[in-house]
Structure 1
Amino acid sequence: MRQNILFDKYSFNFYLCMSMRNDQILLLHSPKIVNDLKFSSPSVYENFKSPRDIMSSIDGKSLNLDVDLKLDKKNKNLLKQDDKLKLKKKKVNNIDLDQQEDTFKKKNKNKIIFKSKDNLVNISKISLKSSKHKKKQKLNQSQIRKIEIQNLDVNNINKFIVINQPLSIEQLSFKLQIPAAEIITSLFLKGISVTVNQLVDVSIATQIAQQYDFVVNNKNDNNIDYQDKFKTITSSTSINRAPVITILGHVDHGKTSLLDTIRNTNSVIKERGGITQSIGAYEVNWLYNQAYTKLVFLDTPGHEAFSNMRLRCSQVADLIILIVAADDGLKPQTIESIEYILSMKLPCIVAINKIDKSDINIMRVKEQLAQYNLVSEDWGGNISCVDISALKKINIDKLLTTVCSVVESLNLKADPMELAQGSILEAYLDKKKGVVANVIIRNGSLNIGDVIISGNVYGRVKRMKDSCGNILIKAGPSSILEVLGFHSMPQGGLNFEVVENEKQAKRLIAETKIVNDSNLLDFKLKSYNYKKNIKSLNLIIRADTQGTIDAIINAFMQISQNKVQLNVLTSNSGSISDTDINLASNSRALIIAFNINISTNILSKAEKANVSLCQFSIIYDLLDYIQNYMLNSIDPEYSKVLIGKAIVQTVFYIQKGAIAGCLVQSGKLKKDASINIYRNNQLIHESIIVSLKRIKDDVNEVTANNECGVRCQDDYLWQSQDIIEAYELCEKSKIL
């Protein structure tokens, strides 16, 4: 719509200088300085509104302007300018008329025109450079305000921090907002040498945080419910799966003997030292309700050092059989097992073993169990207790029937059509096979060629063997397998899963942060009971599996290190290499080989390099050897035993020195005995008797009520009435 607008001196087409860019507002294309504005039509004048009234009537959110304020002299460029405006989309938000006025700039950028309510006022020339400078100042001021607000927020933050897992020095530095170099220096002054990428355990990280007045919470919010770790299977292709039954109990309470009885084998004779030192997995078919039921058993070590293995087996179990010896009752590892059962809410059956012995007390065992909230069914509780004898095969069928009835109530399901999921029981490095992982499948099926991932390690399955040694192409749920194909050693206790391809495996690894427990155990031992100026024993550990290494280091941590510090330089599964020999030679370390074979070549190299290399197959022997080695390195300590007392009656001076003429009052004086010399009831000198004479003869000792001549080591100037107390040094028994 065209309107003719009359000015004081000029009359022109208003259409040339205004363009309809929005349904609600007109914007100037070629703004002119206007002193007075009149319309040719009175009706138009009456309907005219000031720019401020128009802008205030528009909703700022609904207003969308696409305007380019760069102007051309010629009107023929307007079309080109409109095309450019369509490409450039600059959103104008938060229009506030009370704080900011819309400005239109001329092309020469010399003047700024403000729109007022009644007329357009010409403002004096203002340099745009100064306006830019003001904008920069405003931006700088806003940035400064933001920084101040952030600083206030940091200062006002409650210094609460959660440390519930091991951290590297770099991660701890980021968490505390403290330079890593400062943390490293602080630990170094305490005798702990670390690097920026080295892990520290929760206790040490907590101590560091508390130094800087942080309140530390060590509770783990990510508690895992191992029963719900794998989703409940409800698909149409689901089948009943075999239960995984873990046998727990104290050492020598009959866990392996029970499994031997069930399997009609004799594994105890084959075990070194008669104790279990690794996880054993077995499959048994038992006739229940006229049908064979498959049962998968896990045998665990009972020695206190193998707590990680017991925890690992508890985490994958559907049912626990707790073995308690009727003649021994509850022991430390039995109580540890009960804690696993209660914390993980696992169904449990108690087998009271060795009832064939004469000195048993079953009632005492049940009373002890009741103290830990395991109340027998015949006492009104919900725990099935079965009295058995693994050696005499008494009530074994009753135990297995009870197991089957409990398993039936659990209603365990799995879907063999899905990709395999499960857990890593153990992993080790075989010289011929490479990385070997013992796994258990909880759901799905595992096939040759599947891409398998666990933590930050993946691989492609090349070979599978079951617990009986059969080579398989495909394995279903509740299968215990020996799997070859991992590129590097997986961490025992972690879950595994099968993925579609290697690309997906690498992506999952990049998103996964797994703490290597073995490195952490090494660091724990290095920082355990750290003290300055004490002797140290450097160790290089090689064992058959990573679980065995964990057990050995845990056992070493139980040894007192107040006088000799144990330092584990390296600990890996696999055979001893030339690098280990060179490291041991340079660091004077002791190489420990546990349950591995040593080649004659390595033995000869160790002998030439004068390196101590010790081979063990029983953990008791290893611990005894290390403790004796530590004791032998301790300097002997002596205690003084009073053997006699004498008084100086006179002093003789000879060419060799002063001689004290003494009377032995009690006990005896002996040559080479230590003596304390007192004068006026004050100790004034300590020395050693180097010469002892009776009349004119040299003697080794002089008894009470006899006179003798005494000369001490440093020719002390005796005085009459000095008191001599003689002591004999007795070597103390060495303790760590």
Structure 2
Amino acid sequence: MKGKKLKSSGGLDAPKDNKEFKRPRREITALQPKAVMPELQQPPDRISVAASLNGEDPEAGKADGDADLALVDDLSDEKSRIRREAVQPKQLPRTLKQKPGWEEEEEDTSDADKTAKTAKTKVKRSRKPLVDEDEDEDDLNGAADADQNSAVLNMSLARPPKPKAMQTPSGVKSSAPNKSRRSAPSRGGSNNHETASAASRKAASPPVAQRPEKITLEQAVTVQEFANILAVSETDIIKLLFSKGIAINITETLDFNNIKLVCQELGVELETVERKSGAEKTEVISEEDLDYLQHRPPVVTIMGHVDHGKTTLLDAIRETKVAQGEAGGITQHIGAYHVDVEHNGAMQQVVFLDTPGHEAFTAMRARGAKVTDIAVLVVAADDGVRPQTIEAISHAKAAGVPIVVAINKIDKEAANPERVKQELTEHGLVSEEWGGETIMVPVSAIKRENLDHLLEMLLLVSEVADLEANPDRLAKGTVIEANLDKTRGPVATLLVQNGTLRVGDIIVAGSVFGRVRAMIDDRGERVEVAGPSFAVEVLGLKEVPAAGDEFEVYENERDASALATQRTEAKRQSRIAQGRVSLSALSARVQEGELKELNLIIKADVQGSLEAIVNALKKLPQKEVQLKLLMAAPGEVTETDVDLAAASDAVLIGFNTALAAGARQAADQAGVDIREYNIIYNLLDDIQAAMEGLLEPELVEEHLGEVEVRAVFPVGRSKVAGCYVLSGKVIRNCKVRVHRKNELVFEGALDSLKRMKEDSKEVNTGFECGIGIDRFNDWIEGDIIEAYRMTTKRRTLSV
């Protein structure tokens, strides 16, 4: 019966060949788990086990085993020993798989005991009570089906075939599976391989950045960017500045003083690069153009103080009514116009740029001087030299362009051209009549007097300047104006300074690129070609460029896109450097109550107007109220702008622009305040008034009068002072100070005021009254009571 069980278990009857032995075991485990599991859990024959462990043939010892079995069973100690040796039937295949010459090594006692206890525990947990030895296989299957959970558990305990990757190499001796797994890697050289890989990774790792000895900066940088330049951590820079009493964060922009301080502490030499002047004239002629230069028309910029007649003069020359279209008679943005002039019997062209004259448009005047060939300085004969006149002179001199003075309004009774010449002499402009080199022409724009003489002088100066360009190359020039048109998209007025601009060209204007889809001249006509010195409106740019940006035509779109991306990043760095107050510092001051904010969203007709408004707003005092410009862009006011204003509690300003469909209704529903302006001065005045409205009102002490105590009357536990009003008046609940012999003995509020035993609101000079103060009863005749009250006063912005 025992031999039958050993055969069914597939243990000792299997041949010693490893492959043949493993196949039936895998089939039994996979296909017949319920019938096999009890058999695998049944202890094998102890004599067969002993024979197998001693290297003998199991079949040869079966006959003697039956006879000796009864004797062995009587010996309890022998029975326990055999049971401990046979408690791990799953390890028998491992023993049989070894070669005939295999010898077992000594194993650590503690590891062996632990393994035996673990295996014994598993067997006890999975062993089921066996029925009579004569029970057949069908009964076993029925018992297994009766308890499905037990079968699943037994299957989980069945040992699967050992993966080949985990088998002990034939050339390695091992006393236990754990030993073989631990020793195999060291024998096989895996540790050496890992060590070599680690060394290779360490050698391939990038070297640590070294701190530079010298750095060069053109603009301010953030803490994070500065740390990357110096190859130090941001924390080190923050700690260093904090030790000097400067609190910053990682995203804050460092000014040059802080950058210099950090460099000194770290021993790094700092070199700064000076920015070029904004009025420096653009050089657009390269060496390759010298052999192909041709004469080009002059670009003339009309400059001067506000209301001195610049636009009227240009209108007289062009014989159009441009001035009537300007709000308030003030030029809002640069206009570029072509004028045909007869000179020496031939028609020649002159390009005029009309720049605004009032203070807010300083940058536009500088831009006009930058691209001009001749500057016409308009000075009113009845007003003389004004602040913007002086500024225009400085811009023209900085750009290195010749100046022709047009003394306008000579038709007025108060005109005094000689006084104007005298004032101009003080600024380095001496008339030719007085021995100087500056051409000065008296004109009257309204009556069109001496206009031909002025044009003759302009063409004469252009001939002397020898203006040339190469029309056979790709175009280069400057953006004069730009705006966002609701139907045409981004529109830019470009002045071609060299080369020829054609429809279809790929251009880069500042940080914006695009393909020219159409060109329109100053007369509203479409043109296909624009040569040197001509200004045209261009359609097809991806975005609205900034007025004053240089543009250039490129042969392929890939190069244009790469350059535009590079300039966008440079523009971002410049915008960071120009930040007046960091966001973190601004937020801290707002939370502390030291600073209030006025959020603004500005939409203007063109980029130049927007630029002027932003520059003018920067000049407003912002010590206590900070202007926060959420968005400033050309174009009409849209519903998106209204949504942004509603979300940020901002004032929406539209300058010389229209409201898109639905914008007004959306603003009314959201409660957004939309302010529309045509004159920049009105806009600035309202913004300043709004900023002053955010200021906390100032408390001012207002003196009311003086009262003398002439008698003291006890009333219950308190006392009442009988008084006489010496000057002014005294009112109920006002503030009082009680003086006694030039000493202040009490300061507080007046609680009761009576006149002839009746409560009174106020008592004027020359009348008697009774005064009672709850917290003061120490009245003495002769005390002087000073009556006053605190009033609020509207504050104004302080520089």
Question: What is the TM-score with the length of structure 2 in the denominator?
Answer: 0.66
Contact 2:638 2:661 in 1 (8 A): no
Contact 1:563 1:634 in 2 (8 A): yes
In structure 2, the CA distance between the partners of 1:183 and 1:290, relative to structure 1 (3 Å rule), is farther
Q: Which residue of structure 2 lines up, in the alignment, with residue 85 of structure 1?
A: none
Selected match of 2:387 from 319, 327, 332: 332
Contact 1:445 1:475 in 2 (8 A): yes
Q: Which residue of structure 2 lines up, in the alignment, with residue 447 of structure 1?
A: 502
Contact 2:599 2:627 in 1 (8 A): yes
Moved more, 504-513 or 468-477: 504-513
Task: Determine which structure has more spread, i.e. the larger CA radius of gyration.
Answer: 2
Q: Which residue of structure 2 lines up, in the alignment, with residue 426 of structure 1?
A: 481
In structure 2, the CA distance between the partners of 1:298 and 1:216, relative to structure 1 (3 Å rule), is farther
**Is 2:728 the partner of 1:667?**
yes
Selected match of 1:515 from 544, 559, 571: 571
Q: Which residue of structure 2 lines up, in the alignment, with residue 246 of structure 1?
A: 301
Look up the equivalent residue of 2:662 and give its one-letter code.
N
Residue 322 of structure 1: CA displacement?
A: 0.9
**Deviation sequence 1:135-176 (CA, Å, 0-9, x none):** x9xx99xx99x99xx77x84xx6xxx7655454554445456
Look up the equivalent residue of 2:397 and give its one-letter code.
L
Selected match of 1:458 from 513, 537, 562: 513
Q: Which residue of structure 2 lines up, in the alignment, with residue 474 of structure 1?
A: 529
1:205-604 alignment to 2 at 5 Å?
205-212=255-262, 220=274, 222=276, 225-226=280-281, 228-231=283-286, 237-509=292-564, 512=567, 514-515=570-571, 519=575, 523-524=579-580, 533-604=594-665
In structure 2, the CA distance between the partners of 1:190 and 1:458, relative to structure 1 (3 Å rule), is farther
Q: Which residue of structure 2 lines up, in the alignment, with residue 41 of structure 1?
A: none
Moved more, 346-355 or 660-669: 660-669
Q: Which residue of structure 2 lines up, in the alignment, with residue 702 of structure 1?
A: 763
Residue 520 of structure 1: CA displacement?
A: 5.8
Residue 522 of structure 1: CA displacement?
A: 8.3
Contact 2:638 2:659 in 1 (8 A): no
Residue 417 of structure 1: CA displacement?
A: 1.6
Selected match of 1:639 from 696, 700, 707: 700
- Residues of 2 paired with 1:727 and 1:535: CA distance? 31
Selected match of 2:785 from 703, 715, 724: 724
In structure 2, the CA distance between the partners of 1:566 and 1:181, relative to structure 1 (3 Å rule), is farther
Moved more, 416-425 or 553-562: 553-562
Residue 550 of structure 1: CA displacement?
A: 1.6
- Residues of 2 paired with 1:677 and 1:574: CA distance? 65
- Residues of 2 paired with 1:327 and 1:194: CA distance? 57
**Deviation sequence 1:230-262 (CA, Å, 0-9, x none):** 337855654311111111111111110100110
In structure 2, the CA distance between the partners of 1:184 and 1:441, relative to structure 1 (3 Å rule), is farther
- Residues of 1 paired with 2:597 and 2:247: CA distance? 14
**Deviation sequence 1:317-374 (CA, Å, 0-9, x none):** 1111111112222222111111111112111111111122222333332233222222
Residue 391 of structure 1: CA displacement?
A: 1.8
Look up the equivalent residue of 2:779 and give its one-letter code.
Q
Contact 1:245 1:320 in 2 (8 A): yes
Moved more, 726-735 or 297-306: 726-735
Identify the structure with the greater strand proportion.
1
Contact 2:300 2:374 in 1 (8 A): yes
Unmatched segments (≥5 aa) in structure 2? 1-191, 193-198
Q: Secondary structure at the match of 2:362?
A: helix
Q: Secondary structure at the match of 1:419?
A: coil
Residue 435 of structure 1: CA displacement?
A: 1.3
- Residues of 2 paired with 1:563 and 1:191: CA distance? 21
Q: Which residue of structure 2 lines up, in the alignment, with residue 9 of structure 1?
A: none
In structure 2, the CA distance between the partners of 1:617 and 1:650, relative to structure 1 (3 Å rule), is same
**Deviation sequence 1:615-674 (CA, Å, 0-9, x none):** 222212211221222233333324324332123344445579653322333333233433
- Residues of 2 paired with 1:389 and 1:236: CA distance? 43
Look up the equivalent residue of 1:220 and give its one-letter code.
E
Contact 1:668 1:701 in 2 (8 A): yes
Q: Which residue of structure 2 lines up, in the alignment, with residue 692 of structure 1?
A: 753
Identify the structure with the greater helix proportion.
2
- Residues of 2 paired with 1:602 and 1:642: CA distance? 52
Contact 1:528 1:557 in 2 (8 A): no
Q: Which residue of structure 1 lines up, in the alignment, with residue 7 of structure 2?
A: none
**Deviation sequence 1:290-326 (CA, Å, 0-9, x none):** 1111000000111211112111111111111111112
Contact 1:522 1:553 in 2 (8 A): no
Contact 1:163 1:206 in 2 (8 A): no
Q: Secondary structure at the match of 2:404?
A: strand
Residue 508 of structure 1: CA displacement?
A: 3.4
Look up the equivalent residue of 1:382 and give its one-letter code.
E
Residue 438 of structure 1: CA displacement?
A: 0.9
Contact 1:420 1:444 in 2 (8 A): yes
Moved more, 488-497 or 718-727: 718-727
Moved more, 213-222 or 628-637: 213-222
In structure 2, the CA distance between the partners of 1:164 and 1:418, relative to structure 1 (3 Å rule), is same
In structure 2, the CA distance between the partners of 1:499 and 1:194, relative to structure 1 (3 Å rule), is farther
- Residues of 2 paired with 1:524 and 1:324: CA distance? 36
Look up the equivalent residue of 2:686 and give its one-letter code.
Y
- Residues of 2 paired with 1:362 and 1:670: CA distance? 65
In structure 2, the CA distance between the partners of 1:268 and 1:517, relative to structure 1 (3 Å rule), is farther
Contact 1:677 1:686 in 2 (8 A): yes
Contact 1:540 1:570 in 2 (8 A): yes
Residue 554 of structure 1: CA displacement?
A: 1.1
Contact 1:525 1:566 in 2 (8 A): no
Look up the equivalent residue of 1:264 and give its one-letter code.
E
Q: Secondary structure at the match of 2:571?
A: coil
- Residues of 2 paired with 1:407 and 1:282: CA distance? 17
Contact 2:219 2:574 in 1 (8 A): no
**Percent identity over paired residues:** 38
Contact 2:500 2:531 in 1 (8 A): yes
Contact 1:518 1:550 in 2 (8 A): no
Contact 2:597 2:625 in 1 (8 A): yes
Q: Which residue of structure 1 lines up, in the alignment, with residue 98 of structure 2?
A: none
Contact 1:279 1:300 in 2 (8 A): yes
In structure 2, the CA distance between the partners of 1:632 and 1:278, relative to structure 1 (3 Å rule), is same
- Residues of 1 paired with 2:712 and 2:331: CA distance? 73
Look up the equivalent residue of 2:538 and give its one-letter code.
V
Q: Secondary structure at the match of 2:448?
A: coil
Q: Which residue of structure 2 lines up, in the alignment, with residue 611 of structure 1?
A: 672
Residue 272 of structure 1: CA displacement?
A: 1.0
Question: What is the TM-score with the length of structure 1 in the denominator?
Answer: 0.71
Contact 1:525 1:567 in 2 (8 A): no
Q: Secondary structure at the match of 2:323?
A: helix
